[in-house]
Amino acid sequence: MLFSPLLKRLKRGPQVILPKDFGMIVALTGITKKSLAVDAGAGSGWLAVLLGNICKKVVSYEWREDFVELAKANVKRAELKNVKIKHADIFKGIEEKEVDLITLDLADSDKVVVHAAGALKSGGFVVGYLPHAEQVQRFAKACNAAGFRNVFTIECIVREYLVREQGFRPENTGLTHTAYLTFAQKE
């Protein structure tokens, strides 16, 4: 799979959210150039950079100092001024208010849903990037308990095709499961 010139400039450390999943986040939440996004679990900062190319402002929380430095370096490589990497523990709360989108790429993201409910504006979305089905169950339960509506989960699988003169067929491999995406909208 090819990456955009932007992503090719970035360094990769911990697991990143790939374009296939990012595209679904953008398409299903309707974020725009006027949007404020909060990202948590910055890791390499790829999602913060991708969001920064669409949103007015992005604040990305990360508690690990080594990941904070990597994410900041990637934001600098991307030449973005509207993305802030914040060395903070999102489990203690979200300072930003009237947020349009909150993305959570954390092992226990269900424990942040209550903070997301307080930070999002009406109609805003929280999205959990969840590798395991058990995480999806906990996240969806937390969203329902916090009063979110339209709680749903998808998985985005990409399959490339081999196109040649002697025939057209699926490649033998593909980019299959990376994570489930669970979306929830604030009333």
Angle at 158 between CA 5 and CA 48, to 5 degrees: 45
pLDDT tens for each residue of 57-85:
999 999 999 999 999 999 999 999 999 99
Domain boundaries, the chain: 5-185
Tell me the HSE value of 143 on the side-chain side, using a 13 A CA sphere.
27
Tokens 């307080």 sit on residue: 118
Domain 5-185 falls in which CATH fold?
A: Rossmann fold (3.40.50)
pLDDT of residue 124: 98
Residues 6+ apart with CB under 8 A from 23: 156
Separation of alpha carbons 72 and 29, rounded Å = 25
Lowest mean pLDDT across 52-56, 137-141, 153-157, 159-163: 159-163
Q: Report, in angstroms and rounded to the nearest whole number, the Rg of the chain calculated over CA atoms.
A: 17
pLDDT of residue 172: 81
pLDDT of residue 38: 98
- pLDDT bucket at 2, cuts 50 / 70 / 90: low
pLDDT tens for each residue of 86-112:
999 999 999 999 999 999 999 999 999
DSSP string, the chain: ----HHHHHS---S----HHHHHHHHHHH---TT-EEEEE--TTSHHHHHHHTTSSEEEEEE--HHHHHHHHHHHHHTT-SSEEEEES-GGG-----SEEEEEE-STTGGGGHHHHHHHEEEEEEEEEEESSHHHHHHHHHHHHHTT-EEEEEEE--B--EEEETTEEEE-S--B--S-EEEEEE--
- pLDDT bucket at 1, cuts 50 / 70 / 90: low
pLDDT tens for each residue of 142-184:
999 999 999 999 999 888 888 999 999 988 877 778 899 999 9
pLDDT tens for each residue of 10-29:
878 877 888 899 999 999 99
